[in-house]
Amino acid sequence: MRVGAVEGGGTTFEVAVGSLAEGAVREEERTSIPTREPRETLSAVVAWLARRDVRAVGVASFGPLSLPAGRVLGTPKPGWEGTELRQALAPLGVPVALETDVNAAALAEQRWGAARGQQVAVYLTVGTGVGGGLVVDGEPVHGAMHPEMGHLASAYPDRFTGVCPYHGACIEGLVSGPAIAARTGAEPASLPDEHPVWETVAAHLGELAAAVILTTAAGCVVFGGGVVRGRPFVLRGVEASMRRRLAGYLPWAAEASPIRRAMLERPGLWGAFALATRGTR
């Protein structure tokens, strides 16, 4: 069976087709469509997939989203608020499964990556924003909305006032790419590993990991996103900070090393494949 995967991001929509055999997906072809206004972008996605005879499509999109309807809620991306993603893909005439990018990434890491075998798994991305996806018993969690873990507060002392337009110094406001840029005056990717900001970033992310483990009973927290990718020492700092916060309260967490690096190259896109291969929701 051939399925389509769409990862909607602020800069590009990554679109791929793959074939499903014995529970695994083999990617066959991929394209990158620049994110412009919704109608133009989504009709290019539909046109590309329509030529490839897919039987189902999974979509992992930036949020916030209303699910299962698939409407984009308040977003700073110009023109995208109110966009009906499910409706836009309806011309394909196949089942469409939608999730937030981070919930989809959690699903993919739980199915094929660093969280394999975990009953409860969390994926945290640290990039332009900080977002968290939660999968319980193989199902991405959403209720009133979807989890928004990046906006939790951190108890690690920090005088930086933060950049979140809602909360200032929530964890996203403290350690997202724009927050690091505001702290240091430099793009995060250009900073050397020795820069002191990384210790602060790791400390806050450890606070977040501890809060998430205490709340969800996740067996592991998988980290991805451009800010932490390629800097394994940050995740070691995250682990140390998490342990300081837990203070021995969860002995399993000290033994099992629950902080993990994303294993999949594009967890969001693979999450879309995972969604496509489990039917509509």
Binding site for Zn ion (CB under 5 A): 151, 164, 166-167, 170, 172
Enumerate residues 6+ apart whose C-beta is below 8 A from 55.
Answer: 1, 2, 3, 94
**Pick 168 or 226: Cβ nearer Zn ion:** 168
Provide the minimum distance between the beta carbon of 131 and Zn ion in the complex, in angstroms, as a whole number: 11
Provide the minimum distance between the beta carbon of 32 and Zn ion in the complex, in angstroms, as a whole number: 29
Provide the minimum distance between the beta carbon of 102 and Zn ion in the complex, in angstroms, as a whole number: 15
**Pick 120 or 130: Cβ nearer Zn ion:** 130
Provide the minimum distance between the beta carbon of 62 and Zn ion in the complex, in angstroms, as a whole number: 16
**Pick 169 or 191: Cβ nearer Zn ion:** 169
**Pick 170 or 276: Cβ nearer Zn ion:** 170
Enumerate residues 6+ apart whose C-beta is below 8 A from 200.
Answer: 156, 158, 160, 174, 175, 183
Q: What are 166's two structure tokens? A: 């809602």
CA separation for the pair 144, 132 (Å, rounded): 16
Q: What are 174's two structure tokens? A: 């403290």
**Pick 175 or 220: Cβ nearer Zn ion:** 175
Residue with tokens 């900080």: 130
CB 206 within 8 A of CB 213: no
CB-facing half-sphere around the CA of 165: CA atoms within 13 A: 4
Provide the minimum distance between the beta carbon of 192 and Zn ion in the complex, in angstroms, as a whole number: 28
Provide the minimum distance between the beta carbon of 162 and Zn ion in the complex, in angstroms, as a whole number: 8
**Pick 7 or 172: Cβ nearer Zn ion:** 172
Provide the minimum distance between the beta carbon of 184 and Zn ion in the complex, in angstroms, as a whole number: 20
**Pick 108 or 122: Cβ nearer Zn ion:** 122
**Pick 113 or 177: Cβ nearer Zn ion:** 177
Provide the minimum distance between the beta carbon of 179 and Zn ion in the complex, in angstroms, as a whole number: 10
Q: Which of 72, 35, 102, 87 is nearest to 271 (CA)?
A: 102
Angle between helices 101-112 and 267-276 (to 10 degrees): 80
